[in-house]
Structure 1
Amino acid sequence: MTTSATLLKVLLRQRHLQGHRAFCKEYDRVARQFEPDLVGHHPSKAQFYRWLSGELLGLPYADHCRILERMFPGWTAEQLLSPYDGDIDNPPDLPRESEKPSHAPATPTAGTTLVLGAQLADVTAVFPTRAEFLHQMPPQQLFDGAKELCVSGLSLNMICQQYSDRNLIDSLETGTEINCLFLDPEGENIKVREREEAHPPGVLATLTSLNIQALRRLASKLSDGARARLRIRTYDEAIRFNIILIDRRKCVVQPYLPDARGVESPTLVIEKQEGVRGLFVTFSQVFASMWDRAKEIG
């Protein structure tokens, strides 16, 4: 029996996620990992079934497209929502994501070396979006065992939401120094960024405040020595980069672009190399300068 359907419908049936409730749970699970502000913003029941039937006149909002592409790596939103002409009750075995030939340039993985000239020789990987970076290099891989973490940016979701409280507590209690530099949720520049990302007023400020409060609650559970190793500051300047420094050896940098949300921006992985004045030195100095100007909070 052949009926009107999209590729998305067939792939969801393969995963037993073709019901609206099951799909929304998976949508939120993926959003929680890669774009926490989209949790709960899954499509309505009517929208969802239009996605499955192919009745759309165009693609859904960009937020939905990004989550769909994270749910089915290797497929574009356009492919997922295109008509499927086969038998959906007895489809052939469609290639899984890992088996599907890619029509895009391969994403560099951790450890991929990019020779870009001596001045950039410490750049070891480049990812087109933060979501791609997190897929290849999750927080546990980066942070576990580190002795010093310096993090600056906007809401610092990677350390506040994507790295567990238990791991943070264990790290701090065993000697890790963690310096967190947030964009001031009560400042003017976070309002500018909300407008750039087309958020309603207060969305990023609220998320940032919640993340700061979560770290302060975590600090209350620490021993005195561990509490002193968690330092939180805020700054109110034009936001340009998300910077993560790990043990003064590795650096993850993401620029904040106009008209694009943070998760959509490219991400660089940089590793310090002796005798090379590359980007590691540059971004270490940027963090140190911002930290010195920042306001300390309890």
Structure 2
Amino acid sequence: MTGRQIVLKTLLQQRHWQTYKTFCKEYDKAAKVVDSTLQGKWPSRAQLHRWLSGELKGLPYSDHCRVLEAMFPGRSIEELFSLSNGGIPAPLVTTEPTKSGGHVTEICPTSQMADVAAVFSSRSAFASAYPPSALFDTAREINAAGLSLNVLCQSYPDHRLKQLLESGTRIRCLFLDPQGKAIRAREDEERYTDGTLTTLTALNISMLNRLKEKLTPEAAELLELRVYDETIRFNILIVDGTTCVVQPYLPHARGVDSPTIVINDNTAADGLFPVFDQVFTSMWERSSPV
């Protein structure tokens, strides 16, 4: 048992939900979706301690199981209460919870999924299962291409980015040019009339430039910023050449509403990883330095 702990405990730590007050708050959010009558019926402190310490024999009551599965999309209650060595496997392919049917999990045969590890119906569902801290905290290389790259610029702390860069992590960021035609076309498509996307993208670029000024010369060389002016099709995030997150841009829909695909490079002959790796590389080669 040394070094092993309940998967639920590890997931709570990853999301910074491990305090009792925060856990209850997140429990209520999920309960509202599953069954509003379950709000406020979170476990007691002593119950939660038994869950996380591995003292529980069997599984929690069924209502708790329903809410916990909604808190962690793609993970069965059996997985949540299993032991791990600290590493967390990718969730199963999922759809989001619904009020009528609860949490729905669809499992596809591996042979039909190539190197796809998980699929989410929105970016918010993806972010719940894969928080930025889990993606980036130990990364040695991050390649990101898209529109404003909020996952790096707004969802991950500046001081952590600084620590990554100063520890040798290479980060390449490719933004949709805030001065270009393509971003204005996207604003028209999403029905923004106040330059929202232009302003946000320029702000994120400025934030990274300010961060770059605070770095040592060696670390500053590891942070590369570029822009491109083409019709936006995908948001692509590649971490350490092994995990690729792809989010297509849908017509007349905000980026946050986009489905999200997680791809792991398992060297599958018919895999998708090399396809999107090449998309990023070709876009980077056509781009311009900031």
Normalising TM by the smaller chain, what interval?
0.5 to 0.7
1:196 alignment counterpart: 189
Instruction: Summarize deviations over 1:223-270 as a string: whole Å, max 9, x none.
Output: 111000000000011111110000111101111101211111111111
Contact 1:241–1:254 (Cα < 8 Å) also in 2: yes
2:123 is aligned with 1:130:
yes
In the TM superposition, 1:130-279 aligns within 5 A as 130-279=123-272
Identity %: 45
Alpha carbons of structure 1 residues 210 and 70: separation in structure 2 relative to 1, 3 Å: farther
* Of 20, 29, 32, the match for 1:72: 29
Contact 2:250–2:258 (Cα < 8 Å) also in 1: yes
Give the C-alpha shift of residue 70 in structure 1.
11
1:108 alignment counterpart: 74
Contact 2:140–2:168 (Cα < 8 Å) also in 1: yes
Give the C-alpha shift of residue 276 in structure 1.
3.1
Instruction: Kindly provide the amino acid, as one letter, of the partner of residue 30 in structure 2.
Output: P
Instruction: Kindly provide the amino acid, as one letter, of the partner of residue 258 in structure 2.
Output: S
- Per the alignment, in what secondary structure is the counterpart of residue 133 of structure 1? helix
Root mean square deviation of aligned Cα:
2.8
Instruction: Summarize deviations over 1:144-194 as a string: whole Å, max 9, x none.
Output: 111110001000000001111111111111110000000000111111111
Provide the C-alpha distance between the structure 1 equivalents of 2:266 and 2:212, rounded to a whole number of angstroms.
34
Provide the C-alpha distance between the structure 2 equivalents of 1:261 and 1:275, rounded to a whole number of angstroms.
32
- Per the alignment, in what secondary structure is the counterpart of residue 144 of structure 2? strand
Contact 2:28–2:39 (Cα < 8 Å) also in 1: no
Provide the C-alpha distance between the structure 2 equivalents of 1:93 and 1:155, rounded to a whole number of angstroms.
36
- Per the alignment, in what secondary structure is the counterpart of residue 238 of structure 2? strand
Provide the C-alpha distance between the structure 2 equivalents of 1:70 and 1:162, rounded to a whole number of angstroms.
22
Contact 1:140–1:163 (Cα < 8 Å) also in 2: yes
Instruction: Kindly provide the amino acid, as one letter, of the partner of residue 99 in structure 1.
Output: H
* Of 80, 93, 99, the match for 2:64: 99
1:37 alignment counterpart: none
Provide the C-alpha distance between the structure 1 equivalents of 2:205 and 2:134, rounded to a whole number of angstroms.
23
Instruction: Summarize deviations over 1:174-216 as a string: whole Å, max 9, x none.
Output: 1100000000001111111112222223110000000000000
Provide the C-alpha distance between the structure 1 equivalents of 2:92 and 2:269, rounded to a whole number of angstroms.
15
Contact 2:175–2:201 (Cα < 8 Å) also in 1: yes
1:283 alignment counterpart: 276
Give the C-alpha shift of residue 107 in structure 1.
3.1
Give the C-alpha shift of residue 74 in structure 1.
4.7
- Per the alignment, in what secondary structure is the counterpart of residue 64 of structure 2? coil
Provide the C-alpha distance between the structure 1 equivalents of 2:253 and 2:109, rounded to a whole number of angstroms.
26
Contact 2:169–2:222 (Cα < 8 Å) also in 1: yes
Contact 1:150–1:244 (Cα < 8 Å) also in 2: yes
Alpha carbons of structure 1 residues 70 and 239: separation in structure 2 relative to 1, 3 Å: farther
Alpha carbons of structure 1 residues 185 and 107: separation in structure 2 relative to 1, 3 Å: same
- Per the alignment, in what secondary structure is the counterpart of residue 119 of structure 2? strand
Give the C-alpha shift of residue 127 in structure 1.
1.1
- Per the alignment, in what secondary structure is the counterpart of residue 99 of structure 1? helix
Unmatched 5+ stretches in structure 2: 1-25, 44-62, 76-88, 94-107
Provide the C-alpha distance between the structure 1 equivalents of 2:208 and 2:28, rounded to a whole number of angstroms.
29
Provide the C-alpha distance between the structure 2 equivalents of 1:71 and 1:265, rounded to a whole number of angstroms.
25
